[in-house]
Structure 1
Amino acid sequence: MKKDDLFEEMVTNLTLNFMDEDFDIENANILLPGRLAVLAEGFARNLTLEKVNERLEDEGYETLYARSFYEAGLIYAFSHQLSYDRWMELYQKYMEKYTEQAKSKKQSFPKGKITLKNLEKYVRENSSEQLETEMLTSFMEREIIDSQSEEDFFHFMDRNAENFSAVREKARYYFCKYLYLYIRQKIDSYYESCEKSEALLRQYGSALEKEERGYLELHALEELNFLKPLTALKKDAAKSRNRMPLEEKKELVENTAITPGGVFDEFNYFYFGYVSVDWMELIFELYGSVEDWPDNLKLRIAHALGYCSAHPVAGEEQKALKRLKQWEQEELEKEEEKDREYERDEKKAAKLYQRGRSGEDFFRDFITGKRDINRETLISFLLFVKTKITMEDDNKITMMRMNRILSNCGFSQLSPGAGFDRFVIEFLRSQDPFSVLESHVDKKVGEGENFYLYKVYKGAYCHQDELAKYLRIRKKEDPGEQD
């Protein structure tokens, strides 16, 4: 079955199954990605918008988003309890009318170049003067719900055509806003160091040793590794005269490209590399060779790898420990082979390097609006910024503010249960957050599982693209054409 038939097929099957009161969706043969399965369930059960959003939150998915061309129609359908077929008729009409307009929407980052100036412009255009989010999404959703007819809905589409986005704009906004605050503070620190360097040069002049002339600037520039390149500024820092004026430096910095890879590296480094290193690598870093591991750890890891049961019987334990040592040797040989690949084949080395750069690609897409940022990445990025810079009270990441941001983005608020949310809550409340980090890493690795932040971004994708793949658009048939 083709992808674009699956959504309709799922609605049909679920509708039939839901006639049976004992039917449980968890036991259904769900072929769709989870979020779409919930939407299909909504049509099959004729759920209200409130119930659909409640089901999405219960399953850990984002609620429907009023600034999506696709999901605006879904909000209208569920709030007015349209059947699936009736919604598809409406969907065809407005997509044919507005799709091209959506594609031609003005880009915040022309040609994908991300500069501080463009980043600031994007944040300000989507904020009030206090850099607080506008209530645009909420207003749009309310207007859809209040539409009395399809004609009203089309008037809404006409008025808001410029406000639609391929991704959840509010989550993107918060990511970009806190990225901007982080970069702005780092850059302002550099400007301050330039002014201090100028004051030192005026006071002491040629009496300063060469390495002393720009040490303040050079140190501040090290904090700007996410900008490319800064060679001219580094050379200028060592001069004692004919130096670049501060305004010229500012112009250069504000228009220098921000490298998403550099931002991702700072983010990953902050979490001690746990974003990019899996538990198999970490366990050797944390505990050394298998021979040095505590006995209870050996058994836990052997069980996690499937070498023995949770409570090994006589003889099983020794076999498991022997297999564990073989596994260690296999992992060591893999690393050595990877090192040899780097040494003898530059092209292959480049490919291997690129495999580890997926975080850079995701961060670029988050900023430029090509991919919806997922809940876990947004949370962990906000924690990163919170810990790295000082912020005014209006922007400080507290438990209350974190939950408000999540709610504004259509994400579920932090829950004090186990898992990722428990880690976040403890990290937020602790006076020593990094001890919390290490404690959770030790626990997960000791269980033979990856830490919560390992490739935390991997669940991010474009919801609009996903929905488009699985929607069956009924086109008018040409004479003689068969469906």
Structure 2
Amino acid sequence: MKKSDIFENLVMDFSIDTEELSKADEKKRKAVPARLEILAEGLAARWSLEQINQKLEENECEKLYARSFYEACLIYAFEHRMDYEEWKELFAEGRKLFEKSKGDEKSFFRGGKITLKELKEYMEAESVSEELETMFLTRSLEEKIIKSDSEEEFLSFVQENIEKFSSVRERARYYFCKYLYFYIQDRCDRYYESCIKEEKLRNQYGNVRDKEERGREEKFALEELAFLKPLTKLKRDADKQRNNMPLEEKKEYLENTALTPGGIFDEFNYFYFGYVSVDWMEILFELYGNFDQWPQNMKIRVAHSLGLCSQNPSPVEWKTAAAKLLLMEEEQRKKEEEKDTCGGREEGDRKKAYQRGRSGEDFFREFITGGRDINRATLISFLLFVRMRVPLDDENKITMNRLNRILMNCGFAGLKPDQEFDRFVIRFLRSTEPLDVLEEEVEKQVVQGKNFYLYKVYRDSYCHQKELLDYLV
């Protein structure tokens, strides 16, 4: 079957109104996600497993993942050089087995509440000594899929190992949760240290200390744990002349306190100065102030990048472009006024001002619970965030080599110096002042009328398994 024929089948097999096919055929073909397009091309050409994975990686798509049942069928198909129709038959037979047994799949965080204790349990369950169980499991599954000599043997293997398949890429989820745990545990440890210090002060000074001074370090450390809720009991205890809660009880309390994904997202966003949720236009006016204060060459550069004028505009052309920029400034000012009603611009309120883009909360929750695959850029930027905020030991420190190893373990491409985002990451990792690198890159992007790489970085994350289910009839 030709690649074009497979596109036709993709359009018809996927959930698209076939009656409209003749009217908008090209549009519907473009609606097929890039990764599925590559898979269609590979099936048409009967590529090998090695060829399809190489093509996916070259196009910055994730390689086939053996722990996803749906992709396990594709691994078998490419390894055995199946065509599109042969793969469809295999998929249909295998899906019957999988759908019947999917309720047995091991899962975490099913209670709706995510706690530090559960996060630790997930991390430990996916680890063996210093290595990843999930890494060995994925490799083992892929090897056995490849070695299956027949479809019957493959389907029998699927049925016997049904509990080992996962809805998302567990390695990426594992690393995300592991470094999230490091981040939260570091904040908890700081709180425990403050409790010990405050207890010594209570024993030393007793009732002599002012009420305002009492428990001050404890309460400050609790502010750093605002993404865990509720902390009211601990805050009340910090105010007392004598703590009623022993340290071990406080530890147990925190381990069973709910983690708020929105709070983690806010910490992540705040570290990047809000650039995850703030678009280029807002950043531009925050950096340079009012339009009439900009240098003339920058005004022209920005206007040109927006397509409002040529590089050397005539007076008439420039007058029109400048008027449009002024209008954009006015629109931005109105947006700012609306946001300022919800949060001030003083230092103490700065974090509130950047707590926007609440969709990030939903994404972070699904990253943790396994409802959505984590995309490459989100994983990288989250690891860099933890790297900068938490002292990590040599084994877990995010260096260039370790980051590349993590990416490859997750089925992602390693850092590529010829890619803009990757060049930024490499500079960030190598710099003694990484936040300066961040600001330089942001400024370079916004004056060209471009959003920064991290603007809604999570939006390209989706569930690959759900993608296949959404499209396949």
Task: Give the TM-score, by structure 2 length.
Answer: 0.89
Instruction: Please say if residues 172 and 379 of structure 2, whose CA atoms lie closer than 8 Å, have aligned partners that are also in contact.
Output: yes
CA distances 1:293-328 after superposition (whole Å, capped 9, x unpaired): 122221122123332134434531222112211221
User: How far apart in 1 are the matches of 2:120 and 2:298?
Assistant: 49
For 1:218, the aligned partner's letter is: K
Q: Match of 2:150?
A: 149
**Identity over aligned pairs, percent:** 58
User: How far apart in 2 are the matches of 1:187 and 1:341?
Assistant: 30
User: How far apart in 1 are the matches of 2:42 and 2:183?
Assistant: 41
User: How far apart in 1 are the matches of 2:304 and 2:103?
Assistant: 51
CA distances 1:234-286 after superposition (whole Å, capped 9, x unpaired): 11011112521112111111000000000000000000000000001011100
User: How far apart in 2 are the matches of 1:97 and 1:391?
Assistant: 44
Q: Match of 1:124?
A: 124
Structure 1 11/283 Cα, relative in aligned 2: closer, same or farther at 3 Å? closer
For 1:48, the aligned partner's letter is: S
Deviation, 1:354, is 10
User: How far apart in 1 are the matches of 2:243 and 2:28?
Assistant: 74
Deviation, 1:131, is 6.1
Q: Match of 2:255?
A: 254
Q: Match of 1:158?
A: 159
Match status 1:45 vs 2:52? no
User: How far apart in 1 are the matches of 2:6 and 2:282?
Assistant: 40
For 1:325, the aligned partner's letter is: L
CA distances 1:176-207 after superposition (whole Å, capped 9, x unpaired): 00001111111112112212222222222222
Counterpart secondary structure, 1:315: helix
CA distances 1:381-416 after superposition (whole Å, capped 9, x unpaired): 000000101111111100000000000101010011
Match status 1:448 vs 2:449? yes
Structure 1 244/107 Cα, relative in aligned 2: closer, same or farther at 3 Å? same
User: How far apart in 1 are the matches of 2:246 and 2:454?
Assistant: 43
User: How far apart in 2 are the matches of 1:340 and 1:225?
Assistant: 22
User: How far apart in 2 are the matches of 1:358 and 1:81?
Assistant: 41
Q: Match of 1:16?
A: none
Q: Match of 1:268?
A: 269
Q: Match of 2:16?
A: none
Deviation, 1:12, is 9.8
Structure 1 27/370 Cα, relative in aligned 2: closer, same or farther at 3 Å? closer
Deviation, 1:64, is 0.4
User: How far apart in 2 are the matches of 1:7 and 1:260?
Assistant: 39
User: How far apart in 1 are the matches of 2:101 and 2:121?
Assistant: 22
Structure 1 121/341 Cα, relative in aligned 2: closer, same or farther at 3 Å? closer
User: How far apart in 1 are the matches of 2:323 and 2:113?
Assistant: 53
Q: Match of 2:217?
A: 216
Instruction: Please say if residues 97 and 159 of structure 2, whose CA atoms lie closer than 8 Å, have aligned partners that are also in contact.
Output: no
User: How far apart in 1 are the matches of 2:11 and 2:63?
Assistant: 19
Instruction: Please say if residues 57 and 411 of structure 1, whose CA atoms lie closer than 8 Å, have aligned partners that are also in contact.
Output: yes
1:289-368 residue pairs with structure 2 within 5 A?
289-313=290-314, 315-336=316-337, 356-368=357-369
Instruction: Give aligned pairs, total.
Output: 446
Q: Match of 1:110?
A: 110
Mean Cα deviation higher: 154-163 or 410-419: 154-163
For 1:206, the aligned partner's letter is: N
Q: Match of 1:171?
A: 172
Counterpart secondary structure, 2:32: coil
Mean Cα deviation higher: 146-155 or 412-421: 146-155
User: How far apart in 1 are the matches of 2:433 and 2:379?
Assistant: 21
Structure 1 130/62 Cα, relative in aligned 2: closer, same or farther at 3 Å? same
User: How far apart in 1 are the matches of 2:101 and 2:297?
Assistant: 62
Counterpart secondary structure, 2:240: coil
Match status 1:137 vs 2:138? yes
For 1:293, the aligned partner's letter is: W
Deviation, 1:156, is 2.1
Mean Cα deviation higher: 86-95 or 208-217: 208-217
Counterpart secondary structure, 1:370: coil
Instruction: Please say if residues 7 and 29 of structure 2, whose CA atoms lie closer than 8 Å, have aligned partners that are also in contact.
Output: no
CA-based RMSD of the aligned residues comes to: 2.4
Instruction: Please say if residues 67 and 164 of structure 1, whose CA atoms lie closer than 8 Å, have aligned partners that are also in contact.
Output: yes
Q: Match of 1:284?
A: 285
User: How far apart in 2 are the matches of 1:287 and 1:191?
Assistant: 43
Match status 1:424 vs 2:425? yes
Q: Match of 1:477?
A: none
Match status 1:80 vs 2:87? no
Structure 1 471/248 Cα, relative in aligned 2: closer, same or farther at 3 Å? same
Deviation, 1:105, is 2.4
CA distances 1:43-79 after superposition (whole Å, capped 9, x unpaired): 1111111111111111111000000010000000001
Structure 1 118/6 Cα, relative in aligned 2: closer, same or farther at 3 Å? farther
Instruction: Please say if residues 213 and 239 of structure 1, whose CA atoms lie closer than 8 Å, have aligned partners that are also in contact.
Output: yes
Instruction: Please say if residues 79 and 145 of structure 1, whose CA atoms lie closer than 8 Å, have aligned partners that are also in contact.
Output: yes
Deviation, 1:219, is 1.6
Mean Cα deviation higher: 187-196 or 382-391: 187-196
Q: Match of 2:96?
A: 96
Mean Cα deviation higher: 217-226 or 104-113: 104-113
Instruction: Please say if residues 67 and 138 of structure 2, whose CA atoms lie closer than 8 Å, have aligned partners that are also in contact.
Output: yes
Match status 1:396 vs 2:397? yes
Instruction: Please say if residues 306 and 448 of structure 2, whose CA atoms lie closer than 8 Å, have aligned partners that are also in contact.
Output: no
User: How far apart in 2 are the matches of 1:340 and 1:390?
Assistant: 37
User: How far apart in 2 are the matches of 1:375 and 1:81?
Assistant: 29
Counterpart secondary structure, 2:321: helix
Instruction: Please say if residues 169 and 373 of structure 2, whose CA atoms lie closer than 8 Å, have aligned partners that are also in contact.
Output: yes
CA distances 1:416-439 after superposition (whole Å, capped 9, x unpaired): 124111110000110000000000
Counterpart secondary structure, 1:189: helix
Structure 1 131/254 Cα, relative in aligned 2: closer, same or farther at 3 Å? farther
Q: Match of 1:20?
A: none
User: How far apart in 2 are the matches of 1:415 and 1:256?
Assistant: 40
User: How far apart in 1 are the matches of 2:249 and 2:342?
Assistant: 45
CA distances 1:153-195 after superposition (whole Å, capped 9, x unpaired): 1232133211111111110010000001111111112112212
User: How far apart in 2 are the matches of 1:341 and 1:120?
Assistant: 36
Deviation, 1:336, is 4.1
Deviation, 1:355, is 7.7
Counterpart secondary structure, 2:31: coil
Counterpart secondary structure, 1:30: helix
1:173-192 residue pairs with structure 2 within 5 A?
173-192=174-193
1:9-20 residue pairs with structure 2 within 5 A?
9-10=9-10
